Amino acid sequence: MNAREQELQALKVENARLNKINQALIERVEAGSGLSSSPYASFEQAAALAEQVKARTAELTHLNEQLLQEISDRKRIEGWLLEAKQDAEQANLSKTRFLAAVSHDLLQPLNAARLFTSALEEQPLDTGLQHLVRSVSHSLADVEYLLSTLVDISKLDAGVIQPDLSVFTLRDLLDNLAAEYRQVARSERIEFCYVACSVPVQTDLHLLARILRNFLANAMRYTPPGGKVLLGCRRQSGVVVVQVLDTGPGIPEDKLGMIFQEFQRLEPNPANHRDQGLGLGLAIVDRMARMLKHPVSVRSCLQRGSMFSVTLPLAPEGQFPQLRTAVGTLPRLQLSGARIWVLDNDLSICEGMERLLHTWGCGVRTAQHAEGLDLLLSQERALPDVLVVDYHLSAGVSGLDLVQNLQQKTGVELPVLVITANHSHQLKAEVKQRGYQLLYKPVKPLRLRQLLVHLLKIASDR
């Protein structure tokens, strides 16, 4: 009994103790984390705050790390992109160089082949052979055209060609073009209309001529026999719009944007038997127009026809057209009897030139280097009427230097025609400054003849 009472007593005490603990905990829980001003509550609140700050800091640190990671990823990608861009630019540059080199190497033999075939055409041949020779000549002309187109586009891409602005009367150019394409139109049985316009404009004559030639060639190519092609101008405030209209099949609206891209061609008029081109013409036009900052536009209506136009700035006030003597309008002088010296390090070119010039009745002597020239000088009794010089002789030797030497030795200023594949501004300016004529490779026989005639005329006018 006593033991049980003791046990009971112990349990009562234990119960009271537990009650008290319970009571303390209840009080504590009910006080919660309210705004108590007791030191311990204050400590608890500070600890809770510290805990929150720690959690937030961890979160933010994590986020910050993620962002830093993202930034470094982006930087790395940016680096890769930059590298890739540099690689691409490098590749593009080497492509351009390759094209320039290949085209130069291809143009040399092609040049020779053209000279040979031209010489051959001048020979009295029987009809069958004449036909074959003409075909060869045409094929070579096509190859030359394609090649020069490719070279042009690569040059435009590489930024080698720079506009050479001058002020001239638009009519000077358009008259020539009209005359040229009136012939073509006639042979294609297309009606050609030309409305002249004599405003002075400021642009690069040669680039503009190429743009318009392209428009006209396209118009001729796509216009069926019996159709019409019109070349005309429209003057607006401060500008003049040169337009080429045709009555061809027109261009579907969804293809309008595409035609200025490379290798894009529409089906040409099947009636036009002779059709060449890689679909690069308008791509070149686009590049040239962009370089000149002349807007090019096209409007078209299916089954009705198309209009291509280029907008040029008028010449600034007070600037007057330079007096030009258009080469194509020169009177045709006889070349026969003219003494011409050809200086070219390529033997086959020398031979080709010799044959061709012979057929025109010229007396030709050739030299391949400075020593050869000296030899001619010592052998010949008279100086030539015209000196035809390749600009780039063997490595490091400029044809211009040789000419200068010759003139110093003889004390005579000879009419000089410089032949080159180098389209640089610098050379052009230098040749112009010395009063020489420039002819680019591949040499077109007709152009060669015109220039020779021009030089001889100037010489005789003196």
Partner 1 sequence: MYAETLNNAAVDGACALSEISPPVLTAASSAADPFKAARELAGTLHHPDLDRVVFFCSAEYNLPQLAEALNQVFSGVPLSGCTTAGELTPDGYACGSIVALGFHRNFFHLNAALIQPLDGFALAEAQQLINRLLQSDHPHRADWRHFALTLFDGLSSQEELVLAALDAALGSTPHFGGSAGDDIHLTNTHVFHDGAFHTQAAVVILVETSLPFDVFTTHHMQPLDSKLVVTEADPLTRRVSELNAEPAAEAYARLIGLTPEQLTPDIFALHPLAVKLGQDYYVRSIQRVNPDLSLDFYCAVGKGSVLTRMQPQAMLQDLETCLSDIESRIGQPLITLGCDCFLRRLESEQRGEREQTSAFLAKHRVIGFNTYGEHHAGLHVNQTFTGVVLGRGKVEKE
Q: How far apart, in whole angstroms, are the C-alpha atoms of residue 172 and residue 325?
A: 9
Segment lying near partner 1 (by CB under 8 A), choices 14-22, 93-101, 207-215, 429-437:
14-22
**For partner 1, which is the closer residue by CB, 51 or 89?**
51
17 binds partner 1 (CB under 8 A): yes
**Nearer to partner 1 among residue 15 and residue 319 (C-beta):** 15
Q: How far is the CB of 52 from partner 1 (least distance, A)?
A: 9
Among candidate residues 297, 393, 19, 326, the one with its CA nearest the CA of residue 177: 326
Nearest to 349 by CA among 118, 171, 159, 155: 118
Site membership for partner 1, residue 63 (CB under 8 A): no
One of 2, 37, 237, 408 touching partner 1 (CB under 8 A): 37
- Closer residue to partner 1, CB minimum distance, 28 or 432: 28
How many of the chain's residues bind partner 1 (CB under 8 A)? 30
C-alpha dist (Å) from residue 213 to 42, 208, 220, 314: 92, 8, 10, 20
Among 11, 49, 129, 193, binds partner 1 (CB under 8 A): 49
Q: Which of 1, 3, 4, 27 binds partner 1 (CB under 8 A)?
A: 27
Is 48 a binding residue for partner 1 by CB under 8 A? The answer is yes
Q: Are 302 and 249 in contact (CB under 8 A)?
A: yes
Stretch that binds partner 1, among 40-48, 202-210, 310-318, 410-418 (CB under 8 A): 40-48
Among 18, 63, 77, 302, binds partner 1 (CB under 8 A): 18
Interaction of residue 172 with partner 1, rule CB under 8 A:
no
Residue 68 sits in the site that holds partner 1 (CB under 8 A): no
Does 446 help bind partner 1 (rule: CB under 8 A)?
no
Quick check: 50 binds partner 1 (CB under 8 A)? Answer: yes
Element (H, E) at 53: helix 39-122
3-state class (DSSP) for residue 319: coil
CB of 97 to partner 1, least distance (A): 49
For partner 1, which is the closer residue by CB, 23 or 261? 23
129 binds partner 1 (CB under 8 A): no
In the complex, the smallest distance separating the C-beta of residue 59 from partner 1, rounded to whole angstroms, is 15
Least Å distance between CB 4 and partner 1? 24
Please report how close the Cβ of residue 41 comes to partner 1 at its closest, in angstroms.
Answer: 6
With CB under 8 A as the contact rule, which of the stretches 48-56, 205-213, 217-225, 384-392 interacts with partner 1? 48-56
Residue 338's Cβ-count burial label (10 Å; 0-12, 13-18, 19+) is: buried
Least distance between partner 1 and beta carbon 22 (Å): 9
Q: Which residues contact 457 (CB under 8 A, 6 or more apart)?
A: 330, 331, 333
Q: Is 39 in the site for partner 1 (CB under 8 A)?
A: yes
Task: Transcribe 230-298 into DSSP letters.
Answer: EEEEEEETTEEEEEEEE-S----GGGTTTTTSTT--PPPPTT-------S-HHHHHHHHHHHHT--EEE
CA 378 – CA 315 distance, rounded (Å): 52
Residues in the chain: 462
**Shortest CB 5 distance to partner 1, Å:** 22
| Residue 294 beta carbon to partner 1: minimum distance, rounded to whole angstroms | 55
Exposed, middle or buried by CB within 10 Å (0-12, 13-18, 19+), for 8? exposed
Q: For residues 62 and 95, which CB has a smaller minimum distance to partner 1 in the complex?
A: 62
Look at residue 82 and give its three-state secondary structure.
helix
Beta strands in 145-184 (DSSP E): 166-169
Among 38, 236, 237, 378, the residue binding partner 1 under the rule CB under 8 A is 38
Q: Residue 394 interacts with partner 1 (CB under 8 A)? A: no
Q: For partner 1, which is the closer residue by CB, 51 or 70?
A: 51
CB of 54 to partner 1, least distance (A): 9
12 is a site residue for partner 1 (CB under 8 A): no
Nearest partner of 451 among 438, 433, 435, 432, judged by Cα: 438
16: contact with partner 1 by CB under 8 A:
yes
- Which of 350, 315, 345, 379 minimizes the C-alpha distance to 171? 315
Instruction: Please state the three-class secondary structure of 175-230 as a single string.
Output: HHHHHHHHHHHHHHCCEEEECCCCCEEEECHHHHHHHHHHHHHHHHHHCCCCCEEE
**82 counts as binding partner 1 under rule CB under 8 A:** no
Does residue 20 interact with partner 1 by CB under 8 A? yes
Q: Which tokens is 6 given?
A: 């003791």
Contacts of 259 (CB under 8 A, 6+ apart): 251, 266, 282, 298
Nearer to partner 1, 46 or 129 (CB): 46
The b/e string for 382-420 (b: 16+ C-beta within 10 A; e otherwise) is eebbbbbbbbbbeeeebbbebbeebbeeeeeebbbbbbb
Per CB under 8 A, the list member of 8, 10, 11, 25 interacting with partner 1 is: 25
- Three-state DSSP at 375 gives helix
**Binding window for partner 1 (CB under 8 A); candidates: 15-23, 166-174, 286-294, 412-420:** 15-23
Interacting residues with partner 1 (CB under 8 A)? 16-21, 23-29, 31, 37-51, 53
